[in-house]
Structure 1
Amino acid sequence: MATLLTAFACVLLLAVLLSSLAHRTILSTAALFLVAGFVLGDGVLGVVSVKATDPLVGTLAELALFAVLFSDGMRVGWQDLRAAWRLPGRALGWGLPLTLVITAVGAHYLAGLGWIESLLVGAILAPTDPVFAAALVGNEKVPPRLRQLLNVESGVNDGLALPFVILFLAIAQGSADLHLGELGLELGVGVVIGVAVPWLAIKLEQTRWFAASTQYEPLNALAIGLLVLALGKATHGNLFLAAFSAGITVATFGPRQRESFEHFGELIAELFKLAALLLFGALVTPALLGSVGWTGWLFALGALVLARPVAIWLSFLGSGLSVREQAAVAWFGPKGFASVVYGLLVLGSGIAASLQVFQLVAVTIVLSILLHSSTDIVVARGFDDEREVPAWFGRLRRRGGES
């Protein structure tokens, strides 16, 4: 534990010292933690020794995904969804399920998985992560509707993919038929807790008897999140749907709480994400990368350059987006943190194909992080109108205006 904590602290310090450089170049903080975990893991240096069955891995993955879904939900209240639903609705309503199905077809025919396990892989890899497209989303030269589309889609699709992951995993475990009612109850209880707890807490603060001070205001949403987590554990409700529902409820009924918690919450979620990426990298050994064979790598490449682009192209027919905008949306479907945690959950589930599923997910995520985090700035610059005009033409145009 001490060794792992030391390794995380050292890599975190390095990431902080390089963060300014990372914002200006293709260097990615997420990629840094992934590579550090890989190098420090059993497959290379053996400094960080972890197994998928270690309680620490499961606990950290659970807490990290809870924090991320809570933060994601808080970014997309109902008002935001209603105001900007036309384009994200296409990506989520059509793009997500189409990506899932096309990815599942590839897993079945290239990797030889059964259809249920293939659908499970598709559900795990369907969500996108905005972290690896930060330069695109944060560039003001990129059309606002495109940035809004990527922001809303990546904030919502983790939660939308989750029920599919749970369902296909239950079927693969052979328990869906016997416990379908129990599974539905678990999901329903999670949603009820996620809506009721923050709503009551916010309404309580709005009464004349209570008021949060400026100093403690950021802790309001944190307390709500912890209470949702505790009640979810106590009632066996689904923690992840509870977290996502709670985030949306806070964003909808407590805009002040949302605003005060935003920066603080993102830092907490980021810490959990980076720690989980370090452990994930330690589990991805050279032996694992080599064991998937050429068909596994071909599947990973197809999941990135075929499944998402085809799904987005079909989803946005007649949408009014330019070819360049559609190409940017199609390419920036990076497989990120949610897929990492879903893969870890499957690895610890005990299903017969758990290792093969994890291997396919792992190589796809590794390839995605390396490709997407190193191309976001390049694609973002393509939207800079000044860069599309040659320097000599700009000088000639200015001289013409002076004469």
Structure 2
Amino acid sequence: MEDIVLKLAVIGAAGIAAQWFAWRLQLPAIVLLLAAGFIAGPATGFLDPATDFGDIYRPMVSIAVAIILFEGGLTLNFSEIRETSKAVRRIIMYAGPMVWGMGALAAHYIGGLSWPTAIVLGAILVVTGPTVIMPLLRQAQLDARPASLLRWEAIVNDPIGALFAVVAFEIILVYVGLHAADNLPLLFLSGFGLAIGAGWASAKFIVWTFVRGHVPEYLKAPVLLSSVVAVYALTNMVLEESGLLTVTIMGVVLANSRIASLTDMRRFKETITTLLVSGVFIILTASLSMDDIRSLDLGAALFVAVLLLVIRPVAIMLATIKSGATIQERILTSWIAPRGVVAVAVSGLFGTLLADAGVEDAGRMVAFTFAVVVTTIVLHGFTLKPLAAFLNLKKASKPGILLVGGSRWSTALAAKLKEADVPVMLADQNWNHLAEARLGSIPVYFGEVLSESAHHAIDPKRFSSLIATSDNDAYNALVCTDFGPELGRNHVFQIGRIDEKARQSLNFTLGGRPLTKEPVSFLDLREKLLAGWTFQLTRLTDEFGWKAYADSRPAGAIILLWIKPSGALVFAATAAGTPGANDRILGFALPKDDARAEAASQTARKAEATAAIKTAEGNDSVTIDETKGKTK
């Protein structure tokens, strides 16, 4: 008993450690998870999942895969697929069967596998792993269209590929005489129909119970999780692995329903999925034996090469003809198809079932699948970003600014930054604070930027800097503290006057840099804006340099930042030097005419004050003289 507990602890610790190192090193997490599983299993023999966990090994992995697919379905929103829906449908309906057929032929004639193993392997390799593609998409920063295409294909294709494997396995059982051929079409259609119907109906029932208040808030996430497992198990009783399609459809329906607490539940599911993905990859990799690895010969290497370089590109290019996808999107999709946890899990399941049915080389199917998984993860993980850049499918990489806190001052700043062609977004929890920005077509985020969902929706990597501009200094410091590790502490700024003693009592990692060299409070900035101060963008030249610009500024003008010709942003508060020719300086000051008028007004007021003082002094002297005269 203690041995099993120790092994579970090692799996959990190794999985989270791999995830953390992947985050720090900016590597695909699955690569490190596979390495951890190999060390724990084939290399050292510490883990032997089939022996260690016994009869619960396969059900445990199957339930974990179902939960992972359900969470993937929760990320699919129909509004994201409008422009790519035709291409996605064709990839699933046409490219999938083509990959299955050509993959089976290649596995038999090139890989040397028997027909039963080759047919099931071809079906399994239809899938593309969402557990791999999602982190890759976040790192690559693709445009919305190709990112949507790859994400939808990965999540929808996983259960479809598993069902293809079920059909292939049933055909093999009919071929060897273990099942009757008459029942096969009815079994498949009933299982497929039940999966779709059960997924839709269960999701609608959950929505109804949640909206009507039949489930308390603290029980919603547990009810959802247990419902996923129950629905998966029930549909699997009709047709093996049809439950994967059921839970995927269940997740998609829930993702497109308006449930107020869905964000909190999605956050809970993300946490569970991270743990499950980490554990499942380590367990499945550890289940490999050295004999399986040694079975990978030249034929296996040629099979993987043909699958990646011929089968997938041909299937995608043919299926997406006149689909609305551009040639660049089709080329990217034809290359990027990493396999993940579902392919490994399903191959392990059917490898065991085929071995039980008397297929001698069924064990080699797992090794072939692992070879495809490792190769695709490494190649696609390190080529997606440069290929997307080459095909011009990446988002604009110009440094942008995230403004937190909607006000007239921050809205005016956002408008000037947008005018300067600097990517900008204004975020606030108050919808009314964003009204002026929305009217000015400034990108906004309505919600709490400190929430987990905001970090996914906003994608901090789109921005190089953050400015916290709310009227609450403590909240500004909290926002800068939260975003500091992602953007870098030299790139998070806040407005507000901070007492020096209070600053010294705080940890140096709290808060952000002052936006201005002399800290200015929210109220001061608001008053200046109401007094007529504006944001001004000025380009320096060889003739009109920094000294001439500084001399031309009105008294009290605030220099915020300057924009280099490359688009890089330099904040004045932290700048080591001064701006040069062709730099554009963003300042906040009174317009020149208003400044002259203000200066003249101040001069007049001073003159009046001086005259009044002199008059008062003259009156005092006269009074004294009169007093002296009377005394005399």
Question: TM class by shorter-chain length?
Answer: 0.7 to 0.9
Determine if the alignment matches structure 1 residue 251 to structure 2 residue 250: no
Q: Is the 8 A contact 1:130 1:151 kept in 2?
A: yes
Q: Which residue number in structure 2 is paired with residue 2 of structure 1?
A: 5
Instruction: Describe the SS at the equivalent of 1:203.
Output: helix
- Counting only pairs closer than 5 Å after superposition, residues 246-395 of structure 1 correspond to structure 2 as 246-256=250-260, 258-319=262-323, 321-349=325-353, 350-351=356-357, 352=359, 353-382=361-390, 383=394
**1:316 CA displacement:** 2.7
For the 8 Å contact 1:63–1:272, the answer to whether it is kept is no
Shift of 1:271: 2.0
> What is the match of residue 152 of structure 2?
152
AA partner of residue 209 (structure 2): L
Q: Quick check: 7-16 or 133-142, which moved more?
A: 133-142
**CA shift for structure 1 position 21:** 1.6
| 361-370 vs 244-253, greater mean Cα deviation | 244-253
In the alignment, is the contact (CA less than 8 A) between 1:61 and 1:344 conserved in 2? no
Change (3 A) 1:381 1:139: farther
1:192 equivalent to 2:200? Answer: no
Q: Which moved more, 1:342-351 or 1:131-140?
A: 131-140
TM-score scaled by length of structure 2: 0.56
Structure 1 residue 128, shift from structure 2 partner: 0.8
Distance 1:17 1:365, change over 3 A: closer
Cα distance in 1, alignment partners of residues 88 and 232 from structure 2: 29
User: Does the 8 Å contact 1:228/1:246 carry over to 2?
Assistant: no
Classify 1:148/1:245 alpha carbon distance in 2 versus 1 (closer, same or farther; 3 Å): closer
* TM superposition score normalised by structure 1: 0.84
Whole-angstrom CA distance in 2 between matches of 1:335 and 1:140: 18
Matched residue SS, 1:373 = helix
Cα contact 2:81–2:149 (8 A) shared by 1 = no
**Alignment partner, residue 17 of structure 1:** 20
Pair 1:317–1:189, CA change in 2 (3 A):
closer
Amino acid at match of 1:12: G
- Alignment-derived partner of residue 228 in structure 2: 225
CA deviations 1:142-161 (Å, max 9, x no partner) are 22111111111112111222
Cα drift, residue 138 of structure 1: 2.3
The residue that corresponds to 1:50 in the other structure is 49
Look up the equivalent residue of 1:337 and give its one-letter code.
V
- Are 1:202 and 2:201 matched, yes or no? no
Label 1:330 to 1:15 Cα distance change in 2 as closer, same or farther (>3 A). Answer: same
- The unaligned stretches of length 5 or more in structure 2 are 399-564, 568-578, 585-632
Deviations 1:234-290 (A, max 9, x none): 777843232223223323445545433222212222322221211221123443222
Shift of 1:182: 4.2
Q: Does the 8 A contact of 2:128 with 2:158 survive in 1?
A: yes
Report which stretch shifted further, 88-97 or 317-326. 317-326
Q: Which residue of 1 aligns with 2:480?
A: none
Q: Shift of the alpha carbon at 1:44? A: 1.6
Q: Is the 8 A contact 2:112 2:299 kept in 1?
A: no
> What's the offset of the Cα at 1:91?
2.2
| Alignment partners' CA distance in 2, 1:399 and 1:76 | 47
Partner of 2:111: 111
SS of structure 2 residue aligned to 1:301: helix
For 2:180 and 2:167, locate their aligned partners in 1 and report how far apart those are by CA, in whole Å.
7
Q: What is the rounded CA distance, in whole Å, between the counterparts of 1:211 and 1:291 in structure 2?
A: 53
Distance 1:112 1:72 in 2: 35
CA shift for structure 1 position 131: 3.7
Q: 2 CA distance for matches of 1:133 and 1:229? A: 24
Q: 1:325 to 1:230 in 2, by over 3 A?
A: closer
Write the letter of the residue equivalent to 2:208.
K
CA contact 1:220–1:257 (8 Å) conserved in 2 = no
Report sequence identity in percent: 21
More strand by share: 2
Partner SS state of residue 243, structure 1:
helix
**Separation in structure 1 between the aligned mates of residue 324 and residue 580 of structure 2, nearest angstrom:** 37
2:82 is aligned with 1:74: no
**Matched position secondary structure for 2:310:** helix
Give secondary structure in 2 for the equivalent of 1:335.
Answer: coil
Q: Deviations over 1:318-352 (max 9, x none)?
A: 44545443332122111111111110111221231
**Contact 1:44–1:285, Cα closer than 8 Å, also in 2:** no
**SS of the counterpart of 2:253?**
helix
The count of aligned residue pairs is: 391
Relative to structure 1, is the Cα distance of residues 103 and 83 closer, same or farther in structure 2, using a 3 angstrom cutoff? same
Greater relative contact order structure (CA < 8 Å, 6+ sep): 1
**What's the CA shift for 1:178?**
5.6
Amino acid paired to 1:301: A
Amino acid at match of 2:28: S
State the alpha-carbon separation in 1 of the partners of residues 58 and 330 from structure 2: 37
Change (3 A) 1:201 1:161: same
